[in-house]
Amino acid sequence: MMPRPSNSELSSTRGVGGGVSWRSFAWGVAAGLVLLGEGGCQREGAGARSLAPSGISRPAAPLRGVLDLSGHPVDPLAQSDSKAVVLIFLSNDCPIANRYAPELRRLQALFSPQGVRFWWVHPAADESAESIRNHARDYGLEGGIVRDPRQVLVQRTGVTVTPEAAVYLASGEQVYRGRIDDRYVALGVLRAEPTVRDLEAALEAVLAGRRPATNVSRAVGCHIPALMD
């Protein structure tokens, strides 16, 4: 069973509005939280659909400004040898993202052997490579880690909070964006177990040669602040 948020976490969320950096929430459950239901998802329609070109977005120009933890440019979407690429947007001090670490490890262990590449993406410009490396070690997140200080991937994918997922085909086409599952249902409230595992279902569909039944869902998490000029 996932732990219920502490009183300090719950109290810190009261009165929080949108558009504020997660660091101003004092480790509380951040802005951008929404109650999820059927209205929070966009579905492809009845019946299975093959992976013929008709996804949310098409391949675009190579990414510039995304860095690995050594400061070298890297393009996570240029993994043509993978059946799918998953970008998981995280932040060091987002309590919701950190609570998802066990589920993220489970999904990676389940799908990586099937040809799915996972990348952990940190969009906060003020998170150092060392702090991100320490965060990954503390939460047991292995594999590719990138910094997105110019929010190139944020803009490409359309994500708005951490944690949030984006799934791409090897062609560079996005076929899913949104929540990992429906564990968080309201401000400071979470289920013991999720009833819908959106990211897992999306990856199962892709590996079966089908489009996910849901291609967009609204994630619950810490708002990604806009870049300052």
Tens digit of pLDDT for each residue in 82-103?
Answer: 999 999 999 999 999 999 999 9
pLDDT tens per residue, range 127-142: 999 999 999 999 999 9
Distance CA 48, CA 105 (A): 28
Q: In what order do the strands lie in the sheet with 84-89?
A: 41-43, 214-217, 174-178, 164-169, 84-89, 116-122, 144-147, 67-68
Q: What is the pLDDT of residue 186?
A: 73
> Which residue has better confidence, 17 or 180?
180
Overall size of the chain counted in residues: 229
Q: What is the pLDDT of residue 19?
A: 34
Name the one residue in this structure whose structure tokens are 């690995």: 68
Strands 184-186 and 189-190: antiparallel
Please say if the pLDDT value at position 122 is more than 70.
yes
pLDDT, the chain, mean: 81
Please say if the pLDDT value at position 196 is more than 90.
yes
Residue whose C-alpha is closest to residue 30's, from 189, 191, 187, 217: 187
Q: What is the pLDDT of residue 51?
A: 67
Both structure tokens of 158: 């359309």
The mean per-residue pLDDT over the stretch 100-109 comes to 98
With cut-offs at 50, 70 and 90, classify the pLDDT of residue 189: confident
Q: What is the pLDDT of residue 132?
A: 98
Q: What is the pLDDT of residue 43?
A: 56
Distance spanning both ends of the chain, measured CA to CA: 43
The CATH architecture assigned to 30-39+63-223 reads 3-Layer(aba) Sandwich (3.40)
Give pTM, 2 decimals.
Answer: 0.78
